[in-house]
Homo-oligomer: A and B are copies of this chain.
Amino acid sequence: MTTRTTNTRILPLIIERWSPRSFTGEAMPSEDLEVILEAAGLAPSAYNIQPWTFLYAHRGDEHWDRFLSLLVEFNQSWAKDASVLLFAVSDTLARGGSEPHPNHSHSFDAGSAWQNLALQSAHMGYAAHGMTGVDFARAASELRVPADHRVEAAIAIGKQAPADRLPEMLRDKEAPSGRKPVGEIMRAGNFG
């Protein structure tokens, strides 16, 4: 349990999930990644379009160095010890039946799949850490993402390691982050 909330009615996994930076660097069996991504794909999406695609590299494979190089330097400094790096990509267009047209919720739906990914990772003893400290223009080009798709985020997954494995400047940050009080994110009726 973290200090984020003491509400015992909340699904424990939702409270326990957080985004560490210290990873062991051990290999992830490809079956585990498949289970995690199958869970991601069970997220809901508008018209069940399932706009998400996950590009992945396992640590040390032929894609790894290139994937890592697309992160900003700060993220490279810790994500290098993850087991898997991914880029979550969404299809910006709805293509079923009619002429392709913009899908209002392509990013929102991909985010829903990402949260399933994070929770399923935690359920299996892994930790997932999302990143937007990414060179998105270079990522889209290097990863040959079509112009009608969007690179939403990078994701590191691995087995969590003790904080003291991190460079000193990162050790103090190695804790679950706080949250706004729920009263600040809910409003009866209008926004303003």
Contact = CB atoms under 8 A, between A and B. Distances in A.
Interface of A, secondary structure class, is mixed
User: How many subunits of this chain does the assembly comprise?
Assistant: 2
Interface residues of A, number: 80
Contact of A44 (B55, B105, B107, B118): B118
A165 interface: no
A35 interface: yes
A148 to B, nearest CB: 11
B123 A114 contact: no
- Which 5 pairs between the two chains have the least Cβ-Cβ distance? A111-B111, A107-B107, A108-B111, A115-B115, A112-B115
24 contacts: A4-B42, A5-B42, A7-B35, A11-B39, A15-B42, A18-B44, A37-B182, A44-B118, A46-B130, A47-B132, A53-B186, A55-B187, A55-B188, A55-B190, A105-B111, A105-B130, A108-B114, A109-B111, A110-B111, A111-B113, A111-B115, A112-B114, A112-B118, A144-B190
